[in-house]
């Protein structure tokens, strides 16, 4: 019989998908500009139609004007705690992944002090000073990296539980005259991890992470509006879309393969791949390359549940929201059972990529 080891197991999950849905038609009358400030020589209808063809996004969810990222994170966290049936005062760590902090509606100020984790702890009513709360910024892969960090804490014996949250309102950080403004959305997802002793591998297994800065540092950054009249010192999220696409297509499949190999698994043993979603076409191309690495041209797209068409790109919230929806049977045709292997992977600003294998208890 194998000796028992400590594993990090998800005891509960939660997500917050804002109720406000904004369709692509809302952007038809928007003045979209080129990088040099000149108008794009296409009708609004043509721009929106092409955008949907490229990304598969037809609508996106936006936070209500009275809510900030920490509010959304607290909503998701509350659901995860209740789902786990866990005493919130016994939580050792609250780790919150985000990108732009508590950006108020109508403001471009990224408010990050105090940390979102501290704010969420307060909103959850947790009084225990031993519940350590801190933030992590790692681009869109922030939540998956926070899970990797939490796993280290739990396996080391330093902690027995961690609340890991991904929350963003990136729609508020977008240049209204940049077509990329149609990509980003708002949302939050959370899980409650607990250290569990087991003689069989379970929960978070081995991971792979990488950061490429030599040639890819500025693929996602902040910069001026394309509208000269808005160049008032405030910065907006800017993305070199084609280069991001090529980067993801080149390296995410390799990270996925390395992650599988480090866990002595074959692709055929994986039940689901929960992947960050910025562009459905990119994710489909990435999955196709992963299958090719394993010698097959027949791609099983059902392995990769998708939310981007109606949710948009909710950044760090995407993967935990996917997990929450699938594990609770709220995505038609997608289920996860005990013993199943799930890969969670993401790519984003840094440029960063990570992936880990999770075995359902």
User: Which CATH number does the domain housing residue 327 bear?
Assistant: 3.40.47.10
Q: Which residues pair with 15 in a beta bridge?
A: 189
Do 182 and 209 fall within a single domain? no
In this structure, the answer to whether residues 284 and 143 fall within a common structural domain is no
Longest dimension (CA), the chain: 70
Specify the number of domains making up the chain: 2
Q: What angle do CA 3, 5, 10 make, to 5 degrees?
A: 140
pTM of the model: 0.93
The C-alpha atoms of residue 41 and residue 338 are separated, in whole angstroms, by 53
Same structural domain for residues 216 and 341?
yes
The answer to whether residues 268 and 152 belong to one domain is: no
CA-nearest of 161, 231, 220 to 196 is 161
Of the candidates 244, 236, 245, 250, the residue with the CA atom closest to the CA atom of residue 218: 244
Closest to 68 in 3D by CA, of 174, 182, 186, 184: 186
- Whether 62 and 41 share a structural domain: yes
Q: Of 156, 183, 198, which closes a domain?
A: 198
If asked whether residues 247 and 146 sit together in one domain, one would say no
Q: From CA 352, how far away is CA 210, in angstroms rounded? A: 6
Looking at 146, 179, 198, which one is the last position of a domain?
198
Of the residues 150, 166, 198, the one at which a domain ends = 198
* Buried/exposed code over 233-259 (b: 16+ C-beta within 10 A; e: otherwise): eeebbbbebeebbebbbebbbebbbeb
Domain that holds residue 344: 203-359
Does 235 lie in the same domain as 157? no
Nearest alpha-carbon partner for 190 in 142, 155, 252, 259: 142
Q: Do the beta carbons of residue 58 and residue 306 sit within 8 Å? A: no
Q: Per-residue confidence of the chain (361 residues) as pLDDT tens digits? A: 577 899 999 999 999 999 999 999 999 999 999 988 899 989 989 999 999 999 999 999 999 999 999 999 999 999 999 999 999 999 999 999 999 999 888 787 888 899 999 999 999 999 999 999 999 999 999 999 999 999 999 999 989 999 999 999 999 999 999 999 999 999 999 999 999 999 899 999 999 999 999 999 999 999 999 998 886 777 889 999 899 999 999 999 999 999 999 999 999 999 999 999 989 999 999 999 999 999 988 999 999 999 999 999 999 999 999 999 999 999 989 999 999 999 999 999 999 999 999 999 9
Same domain, 211 and 294: yes
Same domain, 339 and 228: yes
Q: Are residues 150 and 11 in the same domain?
A: yes
Residues 219 and 313 in one domain: yes
Tokens linked to 11: 């005891």
> Same structural domain for residues 230 and 164?
no
Half-sphere exposure of residue 103, counting CA atoms within 13 Å on the CB side? 24
């Amino acid at each position: 019989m194998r000796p028992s080891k400590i594993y990090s197991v998800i005891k509960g999950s939660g997500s917050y998908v804002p109720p406000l849905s904004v369709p692509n038609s809302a952007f038809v009358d928007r003045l979209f500009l080129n990088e040099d400030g000149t108008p794009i020589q296409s009708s609004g209808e043509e721009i929106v139609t092409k955008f949907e063809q490229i990304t598969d996004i037809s609508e996106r969810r936006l936070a209500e004007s009275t809510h900030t990222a920490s509010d959304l994170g607290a909503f998701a966290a509350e659901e995860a705690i209740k789902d786990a049936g866990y005493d919130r005062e016994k939580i050792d760590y609250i780790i919150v992944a985000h990108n732009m902090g508590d950006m108020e509606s109508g403001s471009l100020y990224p408010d990050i002090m105090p940390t979102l984790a501290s704010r969420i702890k307060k909103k959850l009513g947790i009084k225990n000073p031993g519940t350590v709360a801190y933030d992590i910024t790692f681009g869109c892969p922030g939540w998956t990296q926070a899970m990797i960090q939490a796993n280290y804490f739990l396996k080391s014996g330093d902690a027995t539980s961690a609340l890991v949250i991904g929350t963003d309102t990136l729609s508020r950080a977008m240049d209204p005259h940049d077509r990329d403004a149609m990509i980003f959305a708002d949302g939050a997802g959370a899980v409650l991890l607990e250290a569990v002793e087991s003689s069989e591998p379970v929960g978070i297994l081995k991971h792979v992470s990488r950061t490429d800065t030599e040639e890819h540092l500025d693929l996602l950054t902040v910069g001026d509006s394309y509208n000269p009249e808005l160049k008032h010192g405030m910065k907006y999220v800017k993305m070199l879309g084609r280069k991001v696409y090529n980067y993801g297509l080149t390296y995410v499949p390799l990270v996925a393969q390395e992650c599988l190999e480090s866990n002595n698994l074959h692709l055929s043993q994986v039940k689901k791949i929960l992947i960050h979603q910025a562009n459905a076409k990119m994710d489909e191309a990435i999955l196709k390359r992963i299958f090719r690495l394993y010698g097959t041209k027949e791609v099983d797209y059902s392995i990769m549940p998708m939310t981007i068409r109606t949710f948009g790109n909710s950044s760090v919230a995407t993967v935990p929201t996917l997990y929450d929806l699938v594990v609770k049977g709220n995505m038609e045709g997608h289920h996860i059972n005990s013993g199943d292997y799930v890969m969670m992977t993401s790519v984003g600003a840094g440029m960063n990529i990570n992936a880990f294998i999770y075995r359902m208890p």
